[in-house]
Every structure is written in C-alpha cells, then in structure tokens.
Amino acid sequence: MMADSIQIAVLGAGPGGYAAAFYAADLGMQVALIDEEKNPGGVCLYRGCIPSKALLHVAKVIDEARHAGNWGVSFGEPSIDVNKLRSYKQGVVDKLTAGVGSVAKLRKVKFIQGRATLTGPNSLKVAGAGGETDLQFEHLILATGSSPTRIPSLSIESDRMMDSTSGLELPDVPKSLLVVGGGYIGLELGSVYATLGSKVSVVEMTPGLLPGADRDLVGVLEKRLKKLFAAIMLNTKVVKVVEEGKGIRVTFEGDVAEKEQTFDRVLVAVGRRPNSKIPGLEKTAVKVDAKGFIETDPQRRTAERTIFAIGDVAGEPMLAHKASHEARVAVEAIAGHKAVFEPQAIPAVVFTDPEIAWCGLTEAQAQAEGIEVEVAKFPWGALSRAITVDRPEGLTKLVLEPKTGRVLGVGIAGSGAGELIAEGALAIEMGATAEDMKLVIHPHPTLSESIMESAEVFFGQSTHVYKPKRK
C-alpha cells in the first residue's frame, strides 16, 4: 500500500501539538495530527490544567460560601454529590476536547487516532483501532508531553495510591489524604480535597513549598494553606508506604515528630518527566539529554533536520502556554521564517486560593545571578477592590532595573493573580518601565490597580501607601 504523504506530521495533540497543527494549516500546509485520544487536548485538557481548574472553581465557591458567614450570610454546610461533581468536571473536558476536535476538522487537519512509531527521518506508522496507517512527512513536530514521575519506594500496587491522573478522577473524598510533593499539583489538588472535606497533610522534601517560586508570594499562600491543611511537613521525605487494613501506613524521615502515620489515600505529585521514549526514535538522529528532554536549537529543531520538538518533551518549564508558543516558532521555522524561541517572560501560575503568579526575573534569581535590582511591593491591604471582596492578604511586586526603572519581573499573590499576570508579561516583553506602568490609567476599583500602584511605590508616590522614596 502507498503511504500517505503530507508536509507536516505532529505527534501528540496537547496544547503544543494541536497549536502547531492548526497554525501550520493556517499557513496553508497539509497537516496530520496524531494522538491516542479520540480528540485533541492532551494531558492539559484531559488530565491536567482543565479538569483541575473545574474542581478548583467548585472549591472556591464552597470556600466563599463558608466565608460568607463573616458578612452575615449563611448557607450552612455544603452537601457534596461526588458523582455529580465528577460529571460536571467530565462535561467540561468533553466540551473542550470535542470543540478542539471540530476546529481541527474545520481547518482540514487530518486527525489520526492511534499510537505512532517512527520508521525513519521522514516516515512513521500509526497503529489505531482501524488498522495501521503509513505516513510520509517532510517535517515532524514531536509534542509528546510528560508523565508523572514515579518514585520506586512509593510505587506499590494499591488503589489508595494516586497520581495527578487518578487524583483528578476524584474516586471519593477520603477522610485523610497525604500529598507527597508541595509543588504545583500537590497544592492545587490538595486544596481541592481539603475544601471538599478531606483532612489533608502535605509532605515536601525541601525547606519550603513551591521551591522555585518567590518567597514573598509563597508566604501569602502558605498563611492560608496552614489553615486549610491539617499539616505541612517541610524538610521531610517519605521513605516507605505499606497498605495496611483500610489505609496506607507512611514512614517519614526528616523534620517531623510523628515518623509513622496512616492515611486513607496518598497522592504523589513529585514532578513530571518528559515522554521522550518514542518508539522508533533511534531510527533518527534526534538526541535526548541526561534529564530525558529532547535537545533542540532555538528554533526547536532537533539534531535530525526534518524533526522538531516542542512542549514538555523539549524542556522546562513544563507549561502549556510555553508549548503553544514553541509551536508557533517551530511552524514558522519550517515555513522558512526567521522565528526563534526567546521569550523574556513565561508566566507561571499556581491556581490555589489565593493564586500566585509570576513572570520574568525573580528577586531570588537576581540575587543568585548578581543582578542589581530594586523591588517595589504593594500590599493588597491598601487596595480597595481587595478589601471589598474581603481578600486583603495579597501582594504585588515589581522587580526593576534601578537606573532605568525597566520592569524585569512581576510577581503577584492574591485572588485572581493568574488573570492579572498577563499585564506583567506584556510589560516585560515590551520593555516597559515603572513610569509606563504608573502612567497607564488602570480602572478603579480593580485588583489591576495594584500593578500601577506598585510602580508608584518605586517612585515613592503610591496614592494608598505612604512610603516616601529614600534619598
């Protein structure tokens, strides 16, 4: 049988892969998009960003309803129908994945469901339910994503042990839950379970939650998490887990008094590893580094000229929006444009409550790299909108070049920080200065004013914080 011949094949249909396929189709190329799922979406839509945000939204509503007692409005204890909650979450996933699937059709992207094996630098085959498809391509974009890291000592066969995928399936609301890993996933999913009624303990191996994030921002979140969680055990490792009766007995090592504790369920969220063990990859010149990431140049081209790699499989940070941006770079490179991947700011958002979000240079990074910076902070206790919604604990922080006031980094902790950070990313990418941020009229009363006022703090002129500039 003759193999189908196309210009671009994209392997993996997450936010990296489907963005690449769609953009290539928009540029007039013939495109095939391959994935094992029925529709495009990848981990983000099926088992990551999207279902977790649906659950976090419900958690926020529950939390606000509880909090409303302080404002003279009582709703009583919530009654939670886990089946209905699960189907709400599934409905969100189905709607979005089907939507992306129909957009693929409209763009005439050939979606092939199945498992691909590379057969050379210009060919692959896909084994699907309907048999095998052979495909010849001019270029291939690998966007195979990442999977949860497994730790051998925690890998016991038990329904009570969960990773982010099974955790998002919401099998039940356990009485007690241990979250291993105080990173993005641990804190987001831990918050969902705690709000639904589980007694959640978090164990983190390093001295602080969210190790890579700015400490001022993490401090704001940690204050609230200390109330939400039964325990946060820092500098602590899990050395052993055993299923015993109706629970998992966990042995800890580190700064924790009770070295053995039993939990109904354990959620392991200790990072993700790139999916670079692609069948047949050895038939190409593609190189994989020591951490398992596919090596690429700034255009995202691998050591094999016909093959590109984007998203989680091509390096940190493992974030959907980084993947979608790389998708554009790779497709433009294939189209012969001079595109390169050189962002000044990749926003990161932890969707807890409060959210924390940052982009560009952090204060700690500046210190580590010996970059002289000036930091301007605006506390949300002086922000009218934050007071009206009873969330004054937030903080907006600018990291600035002292002489010019150029914005190098932005950090925000507070309700809705994830929506606000895009202004920071735009400021950094456009080379904006604190003066620009100060002079842009921000609507009142909104949380976005905190960005303008933190720029005013830099000049010692914040309307709502009296902090004269030191001479």
| 111/341 with CB nearer ligand NAD | 341
| 203/359 with CB nearer ligand NAD | 203
* Among 60, 107, 237, 249, interactor with ligand NAD by CB under 6 A: 237
| 86/237 with CB nearer ligand NAD | 237
Distance of CA 220 to CAs 195, 209, 225, 324, Å? 18, 12, 9, 30
Which of 263, 272, 242 lies closest to 200 in space, CA to CA? 263
- Which is it for the CA torsion 206, 210, 214, 219, positive or negative? negative
Minimum CB distance to ligand NAD, residue 151 (Å): 6
Minimum CB distance to ligand NAD, residue 317 (Å): 5
Minimum CB distance to ligand NAD, residue 301 (Å): 23
Interface with ligand NAD by CB under 6 A: which range of 9-17, 69-77, 285-293, 312-320? 312-320
* Among 269, 307, 357, 432, interactor with ligand NAD by CB under 6 A: 269
Minimum CB distance to ligand NAD, residue 168 (Å): 10
Pick the catalytic residue from 139, 321, 325, 444.
444
Pattern 386-425, ligand NAD, x by CB under 6 A: ----------------------------------------
Interface with ligand NAD by CB under 6 A: which range of 91-99, 175-183, 282-290, 398-406? 175-183
Interface with ligand NAD by CB under 6 A: which range of 5-13, 200-208, 399-407, 447-455? 200-208
* Among 47, 265, 272, 385, interactor with ligand NAD by CB under 6 A: 272
| 58/465 with CB nearer ligand NAD | 58
Decide if residue 359 touches ligand NAD (CB under 6 A): no
| H or E element in which residue 221 lies | helix 215-228
Q: At what angle do helices 320-334 and 17-26 cross, to 10 degrees?
A: 40
Decide if residue 248 touches ligand NAD (CB under 6 A): no
| 127/256 with CB nearer ligand NAD | 256
- Which is it for the CA torsion 32, 36, 39, 42, positive or negative? negative
Interface with ligand NAD by CB under 6 A: which range of 6-14, 100-108, 185-193, 453-461? 185-193
The two three-digit tokens of residue 295, written as one number:
């090596």
| 124/241 with CB nearer ligand NAD | 241
* Among 168, 350, 386, 428, interactor with ligand NAD by CB under 6 A: 350
Decide if residue 173 touches ligand NAD (CB under 6 A): no
Q: At what angle do helices 184-196 and 49-67 cross, to 10 degrees?
A: 40
| 9/43 with CB nearer ligand NAD | 43
Interface with ligand NAD by CB under 6 A: which range of 296-304, 332-340, 346-354, 434-442? 346-354
Phi, psi of 447, rounded to the nearest 5 degrees = -70, -25
CA distance 334 to 6: 13
CA distance 396 to 456: 12
| H or E element in which residue 8 lies | strand 4-11
Decide if residue 42 touches ligand NAD (CB under 6 A): no
Interface with ligand NAD by CB under 6 A: which range of 70-78, 80-88, 178-186, 457-465? 178-186
Q: Could you give the 3-state DSSP secondary structure of residue 205?
A: coil
Decide if residue 167 touches ligand NAD (CB under 6 A): no
Tell me the pairing of strands 31-35 and 110-113.
Answer: parallel
In sequence order, what E strands does 342-458 have?
Answer: 348-350, 355-360, 374-379, 395-400, 407-414
Minimum CB distance to ligand NAD, residue 383 (Å): 24
| H or E element in which residue 94 lies | helix 82-106
**Binders in 105-164 for ligand NAD, by CB under 6 A:** 151
| H or E element in which residue 136 lies | strand 131-142
Phi, psi of 85, rounded to the nearest 5 degrees = -65, -45
* Count, residues in the chain: 471
User: What is the 3-state secondary structure of 286-349?
Assistant: CCECCCCCECCCCCCECCCCCEEECHHHHCCCCCHHHHHHHHHHHHHHHCCCCCCCCCCCCCEE
464 catalytic? Reply is no
CA distance 232 to 182: 9
CA distance 66 to 71: 10
Binding residues for ligand NAD, total number by CB under 6 A:
26
| 339/422 with CB nearer ligand NAD | 422
Residues assigned a catalytic role = 444
Q: Which residues bind to ligand NAD, rule: CB under 6 A?
A: 151, 180-186, 188, 203-206, 211, 237-238, 269-272, 317-319, 349-351
